[in-house]
Amino acid sequence: MRDSARAAVRAIGRAAPAAAAVGLLLAFNAAFTPGFFDLAVADGRLAGSLVDVVNRGAVVALLALGMALVIATGGVDLSVGAVMAIAGATAATLVAQHGASPWAAIAGALAVGAAAGAFNGALVAGAGVQPIVATLVLMVAGRGAAQLLTGGQIVTFNDPVLNFIDGGFVAGVPMPVLIAAGALALGLALTRGTALGLFVEATGDNERAARLAGVRVRAVKAAAYVLCGVAASVAGLLAASDIRAADANNAGLYLELDAILAAVLGGTALRGGRFSLVGAVLGALFIQGLTTTLYLHDVSPNATLAVKAGAVLAVCLAVSERVRAWVGRK
Amino acid sequence: MRRLILACAALALLVSACKEQTAAPDAVGTKRLVVGFSQIGAESAWRTAETESIRSEAAARGVDLKFSDAQQKQENQIRALRTFISQKVDAIILAPVVETGWEPVLREAKRASIPVVLVDRGVDVEDDSLYTTLIASDFVEEGRMAGRWLAERLGGAGRIVELQGTPGSAPAIDRKRGFEEAIAEFPGMTIVRSQSGDFTRAKGKEVMEAFLKAERQKIDAVYAHNDDMALGAIQAIEEAGLKPGTDVILVSIDGVRAAFEAMVEGKLNCTVECNPLLGPAAFDAVMRALAGETLPKWIKVEDRVFDQSVAAEVIGTRQY
């Protein structure tokens, strides 16, 4: 018990730089963005820029949760953006073209996500393919599959249940926020409440030692990819529900990179062996907070990417232990 | 039984003889024209409509069309062009995926005396004799038409937000410039915010959400560089408790079917067509080039403005 408490403290420590970055961003907005913290309750719904950040950040937060686990096993999943597209396309075509019930569509999308994760897991853990190469297969082919499903068109739907996934509110709180929070709670329970988190870190830290110690490393890796695939399919459902359509060409495009960035900003080591789910969510909130801040300050779109890159670089340097030690020495 | 077989054989002979007779003059007289068409891909409804237009025009004119889908890759297009050249086609129609890198393969086509007609996008080459002509819409003029329509609708004054296309892309740059030119005559028309929505619904919605918060909902009109972003913005406006099309006027460009549906529902006010039906113009250009005529380097496609008043009647005739 004391060990797990210590592990929890360590995990919080890893998330500290991301938390500080989010704090700085909030401080900046408190000073320079009038009305950023305004919260209004209209029609029993929370509204405001802060709500937008959390609401919009939910997609990358979900991806980052799965990504943190995969990265902690010493892998990476480049296919999450494509899996989002397939999941959205599956749900939209089931409802709009095959007249399926929305619940069947949701189940279908989640099943597709799990299958995609299992495919990645089989290639990495079963066949021993390098994770970057293995998941690159689905990153490229997956978007193609999604385009085949939708026939290259944007498939629109209007179904109360599917619309509710992203557009609904429970007790005034937007659904994406609740879904992301639920996923975080579930992830924490799975990894810190059971030994799974320890196994994941052991696998990523030293696969051979973990195996000799009795950890079933292949199963652990496969499980991480499946969880990541399911998280990506939930994100895909959110993205499709957001615009009430499946846009196979654009849904989740390049979001795998945002997810990796969020996980790493949140204190997950790219070489594997340690992760922080809270940090991953904070990382995602930082990225979205930055985007929303740039919109609100009307920074020219041509300069947006440069500003973002600068902010991310600053956070990465702050996370780097060597830089911190160097600054501390002075 | 024997007779029956004989009769059948005689009939077959007769039929084949007739066939030969009708086919003969065609084969000897006018040779069927062979045209190669290298298309970018099928990434949008717009492009599918363009492909369909060129295919059906080829069929209508009895041209043998060799079609190649490049799946968004320039190397596939270059390979397709080389194949067309080695097959000695009479002419090539090319929809280039990017502007640069075409010089060597176009030079090969020129050496083989095969005219190349570009459709919907230009190429960046030093020597403009490398292609016959470009058939494309004038993106700047599209922006101007949207600006003029909006100025009239708003009575020359209003707070406008702009949803730009992908930064650096030709349609985004030109549609922005044209719109700014058109509204420059009306000092009351101001663009209060302008951000990129990357030509997608999701980004259009996200940016519009931020605009509504930042401007505290005091936005008179939205100008979107394509229909998809406007459709996303419509959802953001609805979720903010305003009525799109009434509280906030929306004008966009492209004229896809979903935009017409939104206009019929009263949520979108106007779309400026960017016509993908380039088949007839492309084959006119091919024929004129083969007849030895010199063509202007840019044949502009006529685009039209559609607003809510005509949306219901024309929606049935829209092909894309």
pLDDT at B1 > cutoff 60: no
pLDDT for the residue B10: 56
pLDDT at A178 > cutoff 80: yes
The answer to whether residues B98 and B162 belong to one domain is no
CA atoms within 13 A on the CB side of A144: 9
Looking at chain B from residue 193 to 212, which residues have their Cβ under 8 Å from any Cβ of chain A?
Answer: 193-196, 198, 200-202, 205-207, 209-211
pLDDT at B222 > cutoff 70: yes
Mean pLDDT of the residues in chain B: 89
Mean pLDDT is lowest, of A7-11, B19-23, B154-158, for B19-23
In sequence order, the 6+-apart residues with CB closer than 8 A to the CB of B320 are B45, B46, B48, B49, B52, B256, B257, B276, B277
The answer to whether residues B143 and B261 belong to one domain is yes
Q: Which residues of B touch A243 (CB under 8 A)?
A: 201-202, 205, 231-232, 235
Question: Do B45 and A153 count as a contact with CB atoms less than 8 A apart?
Answer: yes
Q: Which residues of A touch B258 (CB under 8 A)?
A: 154, 156
Asked if B76 reaches chain A (Cβ–Cβ under 8 Å), the answer is: no
pLDDT for the residue B20: 44
Average pLDDT over residues B126-150: 94
Mean pLDDT is lowest, of B80-84, B193-197, B311-315, for B311-315
pLDDT at B5 > cutoff 80: no
The answer to whether residues B195 and B117 belong to one domain is no
Q: What is the pLDDT of residues B149-165, one digit of tens each?
A: 999 999 999 999 999 99
Quick one: B235 exposed, middle or buried, by C-beta within 10 A (0-12, 13-18, 19+)?
buried
Mean pLDDT of the residues in chain A: 91
pLDDT for the residue B46: 81
pLDDT for the residue B24: 40
Reading the block at residue A276, the tokens are: 């922080």
| CB distance B285 to B133 below 8 Å | yes
pLDDT at A152 > cutoff 80: no
Q: How far apart are CA A184 and CA A152, in angstroms?
A: 34
Kindly report the three-state secondary structure assignment for every residue of chain B: CHHHHHHHHHHHHHHHHHHHHHHHHHHHCCCCCEEEEEECCCCCHHHHHHHHHHHHHHHHCCCEEEEEECCCCHHHHHHHHHHHHHCCCCEEEECCCCCCCCHHHHHHHHHCCCCEEEECCCCCCCCHHHCCEEEECCHHHHHHHHHHHHHHHHCCEEEEEEEECCCCCHHHHHHHHHHHHHHCCCCEEEEEEEEECCCCHHHHHHHHHHHHHHCCCCCCEEEECCHHHHHHHHHHHHHCCCCECCCEEEEEEECCHHHHHHHHCCCCCEEEECCCCCHHHHHHHHHHHHCCCCCCCEEECCCCEEEHHHHHHHHHHCCC
The answer to whether residue B205 is domain-embedded is yes
The answer to whether residues B250 and B132 belong to one domain is no
pLDDT at A305 > cutoff 90: no
C-alpha distances out from residue A24 to A19, A21, A28, Å: 9, 5, 6
Best CA proximity match to A167, nearest among B267, B248, B235:
B235
Strands B270-273 and B249-254 come out as: parallel
Question: Do A154 and B201 count as a contact with CB atoms less than 8 A apart?
Answer: yes
Question: Do A48 and B164 count as a contact with CB atoms less than 8 A apart?
Answer: no
Best CA proximity match to A286, nearest among A77, A86, A20, A14:
A20
Question: Do A301 and B164 count as a contact with CB atoms less than 8 A apart?
Answer: yes
pLDDT at A200 > cutoff 60: yes
Residue % of chain A over a pLDDT of 90 = 71
Cβ atoms within 10 Å, residue B15: 10
The answer to whether residues B131 and B280 belong to one domain is yes
Q: How far apart are CA A240 and CA B54, in angstroms?
A: 33
The answer to whether residue B10 is domain-embedded is no
pLDDT at A22 > cutoff 90: yes
* Chain A residue at shortest CA distance from B201: A243
pLDDT for the residue B2: 59
Sign of CA dihedral B215, B221, B223, B228: positive
The answer to whether residues B129 and B185 belong to one domain is no
Cβ atoms within 10 Å, residue A194: 10
Q: pLDDT grade, residue B29 (50/70/90)?
A: very low
Q: How far apart are CA B193 and CA B211, in angstroms?
A: 7
Amino acid, single-letter form, for residue A324: R
Torsion of CA A282, A284, A290, A294, to 10 degrees: -150
Q: Which residues of A touch B227 (CB under 8 A)?
A: none
Sign of CA dihedral A63, A51, B160, A239: positive
pLDDT for the residue A237: 97
Measured between CA atoms, how close is A239 to chain B, in angstroms? 8
Average pLDDT over residues B278-307: 93
The answer to whether residue B319 is domain-embedded is no
| CB distance A289 to A54 below 8 Å | no
Looking at chain B from residue 157 to 176, which residues have their Cβ under 8 Å from any Cβ of chain A?
Answer: 164, 167-168
The answer to whether residues B146 and B192 belong to one domain is yes
Reading the block at residue A253, the tokens are: 């495009």
Cβ atoms within 10 Å, residue A64: 36
Mean pLDDT is lowest, of A44-53, A216-225, A281-290, B17-26, for B17-26
Cβ atoms within 10 Å, residue A164: 14
Average pLDDT over residues A193-218: 94
| CB distance A218 to A126 below 8 Å | yes
pLDDT at B278 > cutoff 90: yes
Kindly report the three-state secondary structure assignment for every residue of chain A: CHHHHHHHHHHHHHHHHHHHHHHHHHHHHHHHCCCCCCCEEECCEEECHHHHHHHHHHHHHHHHHHHHHHHHCCCCCCCHHHHHHHHHHHHHHHHHHHCCCHHHHHHHHHHHHHHHHHHHHHHHHHCCCCHHHHHHHHHHHHHHHHHHHHCCCCEECCCHHHHHHHHCEECCEEHHHHHHHHHHHHHHHHHHCCCHHHHHHHHHHCHHHHHHCCCCHHHHHHHHHHHHHHHHHHHHHHHHHHHCEECCCCCCCCHHHHHHHHHHHCCCCCCCCCCCHHHHHHHHHHHHHHHHHHHHCCCCHHHHHHHHHHHHHHHHHHHCHHHHHHHHHC
pLDDT for the residue A163: 94
The residue from B257, B274, B291 where one domain ends is: B274
Nearest to A250 among B200, B214, B239 (CB): B200
The answer to whether residues B237 and B144 belong to one domain is yes
Q: How far apart are CA B46 and CA B303, in angstroms?
A: 14
Best mutation target, B164, B194, B201, B254, to test chain A (most A CBs within 10 A):
B201
Best mutation target, A39, A54, A162, A243, to test chain B (most B CBs within 10 A):
A243
Q: Look up the domain containing B283 and give its range.
A: 34-136+276-301
Average pLDDT over residues A269-291: 93
CATH number for the domain harbouring residue B149: 3.40.50.2300
Q: Which residues of B touch A252 (CB under 8 A)?
A: none
pLDDT at B26 > cutoff 70: no
Q: pLDDT grade, residue A15 (50/70/90)?
A: confident
Best CA proximity match to B315, nearest among A153, A150, B276, B306:
B306
CATH number for the domain harbouring residue A19: 1.10.3470
Residue % of chain B over a pLDDT of 90 = 70
Q: pLDDT grade, residue A108 (50/70/90)?
A: very high
Nearest to A42 among B167, B241, B258 (CB): B241
Provide the β-strand partners of residue B301: none
Strands B133-136 and B91-94 come out as: unpaired
pLDDT at A269 > cutoff 60: yes
C-alpha distances out from residue B98 to A306, B81, B118, B121, B175, Å: 24, 15, 12, 8, 18
Question: Do B202 and A242 count as a contact with CB atoms less than 8 A apart?
Answer: yes
| CB distance A131 to A75 below 8 Å | yes
C-alpha distances out from residue B15 to B9, B18, B27, B28, B37, Å: 10, 5, 18, 20, 36
pLDDT for the residue B30: 65
pLDDT for the residue B27: 42
Best CA proximity match to A116, nearest among A225, A200, A220:
A225
Cβ atoms within 10 Å, residue A270: 12
In sequence order, the 6+-apart residues with CB closer than 8 A to the CB of A309 are none
Question: Do A152 and B167 count as a contact with CB atoms less than 8 A apart?
Answer: no
- Tallying the residues shown for chain A, one arrives at 330
Q: Which residue has the tokens 């569509």?
A: A105
pLDDT for the residue A1: 47
Q: What is the pLDDT of residues B38-51, one digit of tens each?
A: 998 877 778 888 99
The answer to whether residues B105 and B145 belong to one domain is no
Q: Look up the domain containing A101 and give its range.
A: 2-329
Q: pLDDT grade, residue A322 (50/70/90)?
A: confident
Domain count, chain B: 2
Question: Do A301 and B214 count as a contact with CB atoms less than 8 A apart?
Answer: no
pLDDT for the residue A48: 87
Q: How far apart are CA B256 and CA A159, in angstroms?
A: 23
Average pLDDT over residues B128-151: 95
Q: What is the pLDDT of residues A213-244, one digit of tens each?
A: 999 999 999 999 999 999 999 999 999 999 99
Residue % of chain B over a pLDDT of 70 = 90
Size of interface A-B (CB pairs under 8 A): 72
Reading the block at residue A291, the tokens are: 């985007």
pLDDT at B170 > cutoff 90: no
ipTM of the shown complex: 0.86
Strands B133-136 and A173-174 come out as: unpaired
Domain count, chain A: 1
pLDDT for the residue B9: 58
What global pTM score does this model have? 0.83
Sign of CA dihedral B255, B258, B261, B265: negative
